[in-house]
Amino acid sequence: MTEARLKTSLAVQAAVRLCGLRAVPVAVVRRGDGDAGTILIKMNALDGGFTVLAETRAPDGARAWFRGTGAAPVSEADADTYIARQVGRDPDLWVVEIEDRQARPAFDGKIL
């Protein structure tokens, strides 16, 4: 059975709205395929470094995230290098940057 999935553009709009309600700065820095593009989240913990979360699917098909840049925060240059490499592989990617000292998720799904 195929799971109905929310279009990527709508998921990004909802995350932007949630960040706005939390007074958390957010920017869509790259728009990909509006229907089925994958999302990368560049999470800026301000003085805590950067983490890039990459969208994936859990074994049950639900949206999930993995730390593409590793378990520990990295420099902004390292985060940008990772993002550029992924965009080179998949031109349909969306990139959303969130500045939140608490690193609260704005998208549904657990972090693996």
Query: Distance (Å, rounded) from C-alpha 112 to C-alpha 64?
Result: 7
pLDDT score of 4 = 62
pLDDT digits 0-9 by tens, 17-62: 999 999 999 999 999 999 989 999 999 998 889 999 999 989 988 8
Q: For the CA atoms of 51, 111, 2, 16, what is the dihedral angle to 10 degrees?
A: -50
Query: Distance (Å, rounded) from C-alpha 86 to C-alpha 40?
Result: 9
- All structural domains of the chain: 8-111 (3.40.1530.20)
- Band the pLDDT of 1: cuts 50, 70, 90: very low
Backbone angles phi, psi at 67, to 5 degrees: -80, 95
The model scores a pTM over 0.85: yes
pLDDT score of 102 = 86
* SS3 category, 81: helix
Query: Distance (Å, rounded) from C-alpha 25 to C-alpha 105?
Result: 13
pLDDT digits 0-9 by tens, 64-106: 999 999 999 999 999 999 999 999 999 999 999 999 988 887 8
pLDDT score of 23 = 94
HSE-up (13 A, CA, CB side) for residue 80: 4
The tokens of 29 are what?
Answer: 């820095």
- Residue 32's identity, in one-letter code, is G
Query: Distance (Å, rounded) from C-alpha 9 to C-alpha 85?
Result: 22
